[in-house]
Amino acid sequence: MATERQERTMQEVNDSGLVGDRPAGLKFVHVEADQAVAYITRLRDVQGYTHLVFFTAIDYIEDSLFRLTYMVHNYDSRQDMGVQVDIPRQGASMESIHHLWPHAATYQRELKEMFGIDFPGSPGVDDSFILEGWTGISPMRREFDTRQYSEQTYFPRPGRVTHDTAAYMKENLYPSEAETW
């Protein structure tokens, strides 16, 4: 039963390739970077998506882009709309939306610190929000290896042994199932 579901899911993979207990009110839309703010303004003013739920980014390092996701919510139709914008990873920057929602400035501040995406004009965007005295690359970027950084910086206590269960199972219990599923 699970395998049939998987196959169905793989085909519908685009924006809402999901089965199961999905609430009906979620949609994802892909918009170009230069039209994004105008689109969101129209969503807010004309179509009633007045609540900015969150604003975050996904790092697709293999395609060399950041996918920004603005999630807005319409309280009348009870719909969530995820507006996704792709921006290049080098010199990432995007127009600010703090004039639409004041609290967007906080999200933008965090994105600048964590991903390195600049939002020119956003109030306080250069202030450090979460990290203090951080001089390396933005930590949420995928090229930053957190385990290596932790081992080098933070004096790990010797004696930690890893018994990787996955490796054990692959070799000893389910050798035929290794790498296939």
Site for other proteins in 2-61 (CB under 8 A): 2, 5-6, 8-10, 13, 15-23, 25-26, 28, 50-54, 56, 58-59
Nearest to other proteins of 35, 145 (CB atom):
145
Paired tokens of 119: 């939002």
The reply on whether position 175 binds other proteins by CB under 8 A is no
Q: What is the largest CA-CA distance in the chain?
A: 61
Nearest to other proteins of 34, 146 (CB atom):
146
* Contact track, other proteins, 120-149, x by CB under 8 A: ---x----xxxxxxxx---xx-x-x-xx-x
Given candidates 42, 78, 99, 126, which one binds other proteins under the rule CB under 8 A?
78
As a whole number of angstroms, the distance between CA 14 and CA 5 comes to: 16
Given candidates 31, 33, 39, 106, which one binds other proteins under the rule CB under 8 A?
106
How buried is residue 70: exposed, middle or buried, by Cβ count under 10 Å (0-12/13-18/19+)? Answer: buried
Contact 34, 88 (CB under 8 A): no
CB of 58 to other proteins, least distance (A): 4
Helix H or strand E encompassing 5: helix 2-11
